[in-house]
Structure 1
Amino acid sequence: MTSTHPSMTDSPTNLPIRRDLIDETQALAKELNMSWSRLITLALSEFLRRYRERKELLEQVNVAYSDGLDEEETQLLQAMRSTHRRVVETEW
């Protein structure tokens, strides 16, 4: 059972966190009917999961492009640059 007021063990007394963030997360924890520490644990877990997924995606993109552009991609890039140059020149 969660209390409406966080106990000392449910308080971030040893963590250097801005007071406004503490207050906001404590209010959210109360709204969600969970302890502050459970909310922080969930938030940190989600942050780490997203970080790992993004890191893995970046590594996959880097591997995919590590061999450079092929001939078709090079031609497309040149055409895009030419089109962009014409658009910019006519607007300015």
Structure 2
Amino acid sequence: MNTSFYDEYKTHFNVRDEDKTPAYSVFNVSGRIQLSDSLKLSVFVNNLFDKETATYMRARSRNANNSAAQEYINYLNGRTISLRVDYTFF
């Protein structure tokens, strides 16, 4: 298991208050089991709690009357689950 924590940060220069992303953390889990001498099975789960948070924010307008409808926002990828099978041919 690993955890990544990101504090609030500015996403670019000339930043306004609405251009700062909030602090967030991400939990990832992985495990592996050896089923035989030649077969291993691994599973990986990224963003375990399926957290939806902004990773980039930028207001389109630079005036004081900016509204939420005028923002570009990128979000953290949702939960992903991957399986890996390793088989060794002798």
State TM-score, norm by structure 1.
0.17
Higher helix share: 1
Higher strand share: 2
